[in-house]
């Protein structure tokens, strides 16, 4: 008959949070920590577990609290992306147009569903789509009709991005957002080329949908993007949208 050594119950001190881990391995426990006598095969009941003291992740409670506060401040600022409507559609008299966040979300979906592309980092494309217009949370949606020079628009957005990263509290995530934004702004990689194309593709797809919903003809969005796609996927998706538009306009005239 097996003799069982009763397990001692352990509970984290009330003044210290208990850190959960995703697996038993991370608790630094081994099979010899399970105490059984009289049988070589343990029963289904775990009798006693002795683990090392959880390893500190190097972040103090105060630093953790500050990070949480900064994160919520940043997300609250990004709320403006959900409520700020895209000005190009407002200028066309579209009732209840999409927001900046709507536009970026569908771009991220484009990056997600695009077929495998040689040498392309899909995850980076998704991230870039999510952040490429993030500075508009502060500066708003500046369009060509506003008459703001390209250099001035870029200066305002860079300043806004810097402010947003300060709100976030700096650190690796802020650095990553800045790097992604600058890469897109400077069209400095194949991923940036693709996301730039997705920006235009999403716009003309939205224009096609608004033409169908509101009975409008939104030529300027198709004219302004014609011949400006840099990648094969951008060109093929734009061609499909334009073909559907041609059919849609033809059916409307009947």
pLDDT, averaged per 10 consecutive residues of the chain (254 residues), comes to 44 42 38 40 44 50 85 98 97 97 98 93 98 98 94 97 97 97 98 98 98 96 97 98 97 86
What is the structure's pLDDT at 136? 98
Taking the CB of residue 162, how many other CB atoms lie within 10 A of it?
Answer: 13
pTM score = 0.75
Nearest to 28 by CA among 60, 65, 53, 64: 53
State how far the Cα of 224 lies from the Cα of 233, in Å rounded to an integer.
Answer: 18
What sections of the chain are H helices per DSSP? 61-83, 87-91, 100-113, 122-131, 136-139, 150-168, 172-185, 190-214, 219-225, 232-253
């Amino acid at each position: 008959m097996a003799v069982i050594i009763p397990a001692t119950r352990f509970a984290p001190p009330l003044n210290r949070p208990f850190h959960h881990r995703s697996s038993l391995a991370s608790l630094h426990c081994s099979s010899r920590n399970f105490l059984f006598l009289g049988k070589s095969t343990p029963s289904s009941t775990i009798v006693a577990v002795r683990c090392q003291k959880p390893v500190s992740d190097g972040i103090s409670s105060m630093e953790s609290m500050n990070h949480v506060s900064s994160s919520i401040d940043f997300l609250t600022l990004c709320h403006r992306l959900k409520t700020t409507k895209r000005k190009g559609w407002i200028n066309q008299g579209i009732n209840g147009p999409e927001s900046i966040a709507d536009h970026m979300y569908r771009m991220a979906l484009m990056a997600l569903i695009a077929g495998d592309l040689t040498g392309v980092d899909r995850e980076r494309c998704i991230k870039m789509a999510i952040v490429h217009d993030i500075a508009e949370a502060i500066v708003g949606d500046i369009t060509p009709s506003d008459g703001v020079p390209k250099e001035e628009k870029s200066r305002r957005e860079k300043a806004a991005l810097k402010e947003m990263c300060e709100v976030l509290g700096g650190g690796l995530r802020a650095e990553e957002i800045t790097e992604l934004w600058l890469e897109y702004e400077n069209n400095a990689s194949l991923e940036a080329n693709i996301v730039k194309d997705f920006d235009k593709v999403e716009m003309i797809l939205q224009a096609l949908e608004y033409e169908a919903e509101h009975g409008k003809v939104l030529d300027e969005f198709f004219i302004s993007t014609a011949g400006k796609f840099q990648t094969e996927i951008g060109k093929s998706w734009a061609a499909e949208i334009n073909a559907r538009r041609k059919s849609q306009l033809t059916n409307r005239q009947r």
